[in-house]
A and B are shown apart, each in its own frame.
Chain A
Amino acid sequence: MTTLLASLLVFLLLMELLVAGILLARRFLRPRGPFKLTINDTREVVLDESDTLMNHLYAQGVFIPSSCGGRGTCGLCRVRVEAPRQPCTPVEEDHLTPAQRAAGFRLACQVKVQSDLAIRVPDEILDAREREARVVSNILVAPGITHLVLAVPEDFTFHAGQYVQLRIPDPDGAAGVFRAYSIASDPAVRGTLELAVKLVPGGLGSPWLHARRPGDVLSFTGPYGEWRLEPDPAVGLLLVGGGVGLTPLRAILHEAATRCPDKPVHFFFGARSQDDLFWTDRLDALAARLPRGSATYALSHEPEGSSWSGARGFVHEAVDAAWEPEGPVQVFLCGPPPMIDALRPILDERGVEPERVFTDAF
């Protein structure tokens, strides 16, 4: 009996020692608040505890974009940290260009607030509010892709290529999480947003959105995103979308057809098979409004000998085979990361300047 007790005692003592070690280390090593956070020189808040900058900003009602829940994978939560300057983490390096890093940009979800901090966010984000949207329709247009039409307040405006963030209920957290969805509809049309949502099995947001029915109400923030169409008709346009990456490109086609129909516009859409193509009638109609426009659909997994008469193979192969720039050009790429990686050398080869290439991977 004493042996047993003594063994347990020694064991517990060991554990206590470990815990004491951790507590001691924490006592002496962890920085403690309060910290002062200054946003755009105009807003000042005092924070009591050390947490990520992103969590603090959301708690303050500053809705910076974020679609990965702070895991450092979406790269959307960029803010400029003005003081103190800190080097960024390897996670952030993937999402920030050297110029952005030099200017002090960081990903808010990776910044721990451990001292006073002064940051700058675009003014429109400081003004961004959460708004309500009502589901008008929600219809499957291709396997796993739903076309979600939302009625939104008339005062909501956006640029082609921008996205909104929808608040998704989270079973683990009361506040819910946000997911980004690009706007596909015409920026000139007020009061309606069209989105396309691809089902990610096991995901939090997309299955929930697929289950929305007309009349349901959801809330969103935005618009976000720095894509801007160059209005100069002399600057050509190359749009390449893979799968659901088509969404922001449709909005850009709308804007080009309305504002600068004389632009040379080449639009490529990659999908697996004919079943996976969607919105082709609308896209064809848009291309028809652009006298110097073309629309190419490339199918990578269409069965041999099917009725398909268009391009076959991956969409980057179609671009490689059919596209030559006719002067200065602006490029928008949106689709899975391998598609974007495969397109970069093709663009380099044709002398497209990297700063003219806009990409979104999802």
Chain B
Amino acid sequence: MNTCEQASRLSAYHDGEMSPDCRVEFERHLGQCPQCAAELDRLRRLTAMLGAARPAAIPAASLARLHRAVDLLPTTGIRRLAEALAGVAAAILLVCMIGLARRSDAPAATASMPVWETQAVAQQQAVSATATSDVLLASWMVQDLSGRSEHD
């Protein structure tokens, strides 16, 4: 374990990412610090090991598949747009169908009325029905009486 406080600069020195001035200064430090010198040696061996692991080359079949996928890219965009538009149309249709269904079920709306309101409406309907039957009875009586007077 390298305990030198300059150890964190080893990577930059090793990778050639130091300015020339810093490089000269750090080389002076390396000459005086056996810990950093030993770690630099390990870094060089590590880089050699990693560098020997060559990146994999792409197989011809994979390259052909990539080109085929690229050929489909322009239509992929159009297809995605069509799918999005179809989704929007389906959503609008669904909203319209729900609206129509609610309208046809309008009487069911009274089911959500409070009890007192339902009863009041029912009484009002009963009263109007009674009033209608009274008017009818009166007209029948008038007709009947006038018929009798004619017979008399």
- A and B from one assembly? no
